[in-house]
A and B are shown apart, each in its own frame.
Chain A
């Protein structure tokens, strides 16, 4: 715990994401065997799962359904480019390494999704919310998060080894559940928010947590991964209720999130990383390029000059929390032993490289006076 505190402090001082540091800590602990896994395995297991659920729930809380639909409308072209350019490298790499389809699909997810946490933190810390490319970046992140809700459902089904028919069913199920919740949230969101948010902080906290876990549990029963359920509950909550949820559950998320990332690092034996360094390096290069192209296209659509387009791309480079959640799905199911070390190496490098690229991109300035502001 103390080392976590020190790391979090360090991370916020350098406006870095603590995620790679947590991962690193897990790795170091696993190497020296300081930490005895068997003793508290169950506690950590439960804590890690709770962390992932809270992470997705609060991500959903940040968005409203209107924002999601608007985001999709404004950036579906760049969103598609993003999916193609960044999912395929991981997928193909997995396939080239001779992995199963499921493992390759998971690696594709790892390379696809940008860390909205790292990107949002960078934009806030650098005071870039007023930048012209900012709505482009945010729209891409919104689309990615929405894709993720469906993706996690499919991935969960694949990992469980569903048949083709069962798989088609669960894809339909995931899309259906996401769609249904979006509609319900749009119609009844305010009522739902009022229902939960009436009394003291304590009862709100317990009520919310209960609701999230209940829906997450139901989602898992139907075969649509608990994380998706949590994300969707978050979407349904809006306004003042959302603010309160964020304030009350934010600290819990940070605590259990940290446990989740350290736990993931703990599962990876550091000696398994060097053999996968070469594919990891290739993936880092391709995944960086993919995001730069995505940012360029998205920024252009929002009327940003080349400097802004570059910043947009750089902001998207970092991978983080979601990639690890996806990789964890594979680790839990005991898929390819190379998945965890490869994902760790890729996410760790990109989570460090991304912010560095953003700082460099911020130094490049373009002289483009009197450009009209274009409404997207």
Chain B
């Protein structure tokens, strides 16, 4: 990598790289940023030294290990594992770049004498394609919570062995029985995030909005952006109206649509490229994925993010193993290893996302714990709602209204 780019060319290069990666995304695109953004925020000095930045580093890093198919090496050990608890000599993880702390992996290798091989993906579509119907050659990966019910139904996910998961009690009580996987039968939550509102304080002339209604403020007309994501947009609007973000009541949906139709003339763009739109200067206040703020702050240091006082959207991914896993014993042990309080904290300290691990909090960097946008207070958390995988018919009701709005 070249040492001395000037600032603008770095930005351009990063923006363009990011653009190419992200164009096909929906809300899942959020996680793609973890490698780029979470990593960038945590490793700012490294990025500064290595000036092409997270944008180009991630794909190139992903390319090499993904090419060295772990399947070949795992073939011998896949011969019917004994039901006994002795872990296999290998473990194959399919992961985002920089999404597990190196210490967590090396301590697992030392503990169980198991060699961990990581392969990487850069979009969730790529992850699901590589996993196929039974996980393929992989033992561990990170499905998004909304996709979990479908994967359970298809028989992709293997049940967790609770006798191995001795650390599962470390999960906060609100994570013990998630809607997408009751009782954490197949998955364990890994990291969570929020969607809310971000703004450039300099543009809002000293205003400090707290409600999502600020996105309907005519004073910011033509400088407001909304995510190009039907579920996030309806979720935010439904919560503002005091309804469930996953409502199945079409009257409530009609109300939300009417509210969004009112907003539309004020909206400059519906876009998932919030980093691009916010830093372009065209958008002063926008509906954004919380994690994007780190990247925006590289350009606008004062950039502010808040979870609307009416309530916001939270999402999470999970860590799971698969019915076709070549190393099932090691996989279960690894999930337990990640649930360990210190290990969980190490992961959070790397990627700047809160995990669901209550016991981990004492080991987490205070700067992260004290940031209300990463670690919101209990009363705000209580108001967060999860976007669920909607039934087909309900989803169609949302999508048809979304297309009516966008038409």
- Our verdict on whether A and B bind, yes or no, reads no
Binding site for B on A (CB under 8 A): none
